[in-house]
Amino acid sequence: MRNMMLMLAVAGTLLLSACDPSRVYEQNVEMPDKNWTVDNAPVFEFAIEDTTKRYNVYFNVRYSLAYDYYNLYLQHRLTAPDSSMVSSSLTELHLMDAKTGKPEGKGSSDIYDVQSLVLKEVALPQVGTYRLQLTQYMRRDPLPNILAVGVRVEEAAK
């Protein structure tokens, strides 16, 4: 019975993800021991075939309510297939309301997911594989209660 429920959950997830025609890429990486160390800088690789379109890039963060801060600073580096720099900047994501402490994003119990638009309608001018690296840029190392980080790339609305 448990295997049947697991198979139904996986099938449902696959069906829902298949119904998202704007998504080009989405991947999340779990943090070992729910701690994000500075030297753990995940790299996300995605292929772009249509250079005439514009793309939106989101950062995904799964965190626990035990996280000590209301925000999270991330450094990103997006490189093109020829290794040229497309974008590099420091981004502040708000995980909780600074005044009320109310968690941002979707979740239940003590686990929440935030998806933040970071690069809006960006041009990706080369066909091929792009690399996006994320590094946590907080003063604490390791940074506890960050459970996973990820990237979503989608075609921008016309």
CB atoms within 10 A of CB 89: 11
Domains along the chain with CATH numbers: 25-155 (2.60.290)
Full-prediction pTM beyond 0.85?
A: yes
Give the span between the Cα atoms of 125 and 76, in whole angstroms: 19
pLDDT band at 105 (very low <50, low <70, confident <90, very high): very high
Contact 148, 61 (CB under 8 A): yes
Contact 39, 133 (CB under 8 A): no
- For the chain, give the number of residues: 158
pLDDT tens for residues 33-82?
999 999 999 999 999 999 999 999 999 999 999 999 999 999 999 999 99
